[in-house]
Structure 1
Amino acid sequence: MSAAEEERAEEEEEEETQPVDLIGNRLKEDVVSRGRRGQGSPAHIPLSLQVQPPDPASIRVLRGHQLPVTCLVISPDDRFIFSASKDGSLIKWDVESGKRLCVVPGGKKGTEEQHMGHASHVLCMAISSDGKYLATGDRNKLIMIWDTVTCKRLHIFTGHRDAVSGLSFRKGTHQLYSASHDRCVKVWNVAENAYVETLFGHQDVVTGLDSLSRECCVTAGGRDGTVRLWKIPEESQLVFYGHQGSIDCIQLINEEHMVSGADDGSVALWGLTKKKPLALARQAHGMQDAQGLQQPYWISAVAALRNSDLLATGSHSASVKLWKCGEGFRKLEPLWDIPLVGFVNSLKFSAAGDFLVAGIGQEHRLGRWWRVKEAKNSICIIPLKGRAAAPSPEVPDSS
């Protein structure tokens, strides 16, 4: 029982640090009710019922990258977006105005030291939960650490033997996890510019990675067909099976559930204690006619609004899909389609749950299998408005 109580305390502490937003009051109510019932499961906020279908005309499009956008993150205070591209560039955007606040251009291979930017495709990025550090990873095996305020580069981590494809900071710390096409996961201490350790287990390129508050991370293993949970202190891993194709994207929903997507067109919901999916949506974005053959649209991005039942998935099917996690995460129910043309290479919900950001490209993040010529390499900000409800007490804005 002590472990369960400690786990519950960690989750409640995490939930109570959320900003005042769509889910803030609901979280507090849920924590109280869980305490009364003595339950240890994470907060599960039925937000999907409170969000209206977005108006396509309200989507804002930000242009700045020359080549496909591959990854993006939103600052913890929801004021800024950082994005990167196959052109090697890194851009900091102001959410409210849509203006570019900082641009670090890409350069030629071998010039990383001179021009302070990436010289190859940037494939992934992560921001620390205090908003201090930004980490970016590229095809040249490099991880770069940036000051989020000035966009100055602070450090370069080397050690991976192939493209860096996934990054995540452990929440509440400056511990960084990285995943690579070299099949390894590495742990770094960014505050001390230090390498910590390497984790082995995947049999193919690792395509994605995520983490939350616990000292563990989850990874998508591409064509080895597995999702893995790495328990860092125990030096152990749990292996999950469920997709038929290459697993290309993954995100934690809360400390006990995650969502992943694969090129067989499936989206899977997982509990971290079950080796098979709790729910699986096959052909989640439908079928496409590729060279005379019917194939599922690949799932290229997944996103979860933390501690809620709201998910988003992306492909190149001309729409982003919003989903509801059913009771006990055992159902995946489609809500709406949001029209967006191109490869959806990255998706992120704002912390407040009031907007969703998509990174769009003419090509897939990891290759050039198809090209959607009519797509714009861009950042799309999709407003998510709550349904009309009883007015809640005004909370003074502390920003």
Structure 2
Amino acid sequence: MLKNKPAATLKGHQGPVNQVNYNSNGEYCSSAGDDKTIILWNPLDGVKLKVYNGHGQSVRDVVSSHDNCNLGSASADRCAFYWDVASGTILRRFRGHDSVVNCVKFNKSSNMLLSGGNDSTVRIMDLKSRSYEAVQILDDAKDSITSIDITDDEITVGSVDGRIRIYDIRMGKLHEDFVGESITNVCFSNDNQSVIVNSTDNTVRLIDKTSGQLLNDYTGHVHTKLQLQAVSWYDDSAILSVCEKSKVFIWDLIGGEVKQTLELPALSQTLSVHPSRYQLLTGDISGQINLWITKGEKNPEKHEGEKSMSMWALPPR
């Protein structure tokens, strides 16, 4: 069980937080804001490490590479950026989308960056190439792309057209499942056997990725219009989703019953779970990020102000 109040609050964005994500080892997190910035944090110490500027409009998504040396970002300025974490340098600007870019994702090797946008396409960029053009474009969706996830062998894509699409990379095949309502978030479970689907009919679904069979659904929250996220704990013991009533719902994965609800300080659309602990981050419309920990853990120490990146051991290159 998580504590009912945030253990720490990170303040730095001047407007809504559109995305927050832990990096691969959970030591840092990055956040994307309506204020056109990306911020790198040490969430346990509540310290802002670095601010990344360069996008011309709202930043909609940010994600860390698997070696934690780079960031990928998506923006309403129709661009996806590839960043160097330590220096803050923009290594590559990808401008191929015709509209807002909603989501980005690295593959496991972090040599490819995928971006999805309101132009109904997913663009795949080769980061080892010098080209700024996509090496492949997935254009099967009939409406905006809201979410992407990827494993070694598969890409899953969520769209406002109400369908999830799973691309088998090795076999070159596409499998589609029709949900009905707009899909705002898709992600593979941590065992890679199923897909978690959040849609605007007040329902989170767990779908077998091979057969398309509905394994379970999770209800009780309100989700009718906003682009809300749903994820699972690192051990797939529970499903978590934010709610349009400023709450987080936590369901038992197998039984489907609500295990806990958290009252959020403000409306949140994004959440991220720690890769190896029962810890949770939520980012809200007030510009704050809240850290939630289990009842057995001590609250992190409070630190004021901004610290230099040199104060922290960044992952080796």
Same fold (TM over 0.5): yes
Query: What whole-Å deviation, never above 9, does each CA across 1:87-138 have from its counterpart, x for those lacking one?
Result: 1111111123211111124xxxxxxxxxxx1111111122111112110011
**1:357 CA drift (Å):** 0.8
Given the alignment of the two structures, is residue 65 of structure 1 paired with residue 13 of structure 2, yes or no?
Answer: yes
In structure 1, distance between residues paired with 2:266 and 2:183: 20
Alignment partner of 1:200 is 2:136: no
RMSD: 2.1
2:291 aligned residue: 381
Higher strand residue share: 2
- Structure number with greater CO (CA < 8 Å, separation at least 6) is 2
2:252 is equivalent to residue 324 of structure 1 = yes
CA shift, 1:297, in A, is: 7.5
Matched-pair identity in % = 21
Which consecutive unaligned segments of at least 5 residues does structure 1 have? 1-52, 106-116, 287-294, 362-375, 388-398
Counterpart residue identity of residue 209, structure 1: I
1:79 aligned residue: 27
* Structure 1 residues 198-234: Cα deviation after superposition (integer angstroms, max 9, x where no partner): 112111111111113x232111111x11011112343
Task: Give the deviation of 1:240 after TM superposition.
Answer: 1.0
SS of equivalent to 1:273: coil
CA–CA separation in structure 2 for the residues paired with 1:79 and 1:252: 22
CA–CA distance in 1 between the matches of 2:115 and 2:148?
7
1:123 aligned partner, one-letter code: R
- For residues 95 and 67 of structure 2, the distance between their equivalents in structure 1, rounded to whole angstroms, comes to 24
Task: Please identify, of 307-316 and 91-100, the stretch whose mean Cα deviation from structure 2 is larger.
Answer: 307-316
Structure 1 residue 314 displacement after superposition: 0.5
Matches within 5 A, 1:90-129: 90-105=38-53, 117-129=54-66
2:181 matched residue in structure 1:
245
Which runs of no fewer than 5 residues in structure 2 stay unpaired? Answer: 298-314
CA distance in 2, matches of 1:216, 1:296: 29
TM-superposed CA distance for 1:378, in Å, is 1.0
1:54 maps onto 2:13 in alignment: no
- Of 332, 336, 339, 2:260 maps to 336
Distance 1:141 1:193 in 2: 20
Q: Does 1:347 align with 2:285?
A: no
d(CA) in 2 for partners of 1:55 and 1:182?
A: 41
Q: CA deviation at 1:343?
A: 2.9
CA deviation vs aligned residue, 1:132-166 (integer Å, no higher than 9, x gap): 21100111210111112222221111211111112
Equivalent pair of 1:124/1:137 in contact (CA under 8 Å): yes
Q: Give yes or no for contact 1:356–1:384 (8 Å, CA) kept in 2.
A: no
Greater shift in the superposed pair: 190-199 or 259-268: 190-199
CA shift digits 1:341-374 (9 cap, x unpaired): 433221111111231111111xxxxxxxxxxxxx
In structure 2, distance between residues paired with 1:343 and 1:232: 37
Distance 1:217 1:266 in 2: 22
- The residue that corresponds to 1:356 in the other structure is 280
Give the drift of 1:69: 0.4
Residue correspondences, number:
295
Residue among 162, 182, 186 paired with 2:99: 162
Report what 2:157 is aligned to: 219
**Structure 1 residues 161-208: Cα deviation after superposition (integer angstroms, max 9, x where no partner):** 111112111123322222111111111122335432111211111111
- The match for 1:24 is none
Task: Give yes or no for contact 2:79–2:101 (8 Å, CA) kept in 1.
Answer: yes
Hey, what's the Cα distance between the residues in 1 that align with 2:290 and 2:82? Answer: 25
Give the whole-Å Cα distance in 1 for the aligned partners of 2:130 and 2:253. Answer: 39
Larger Rg: 1
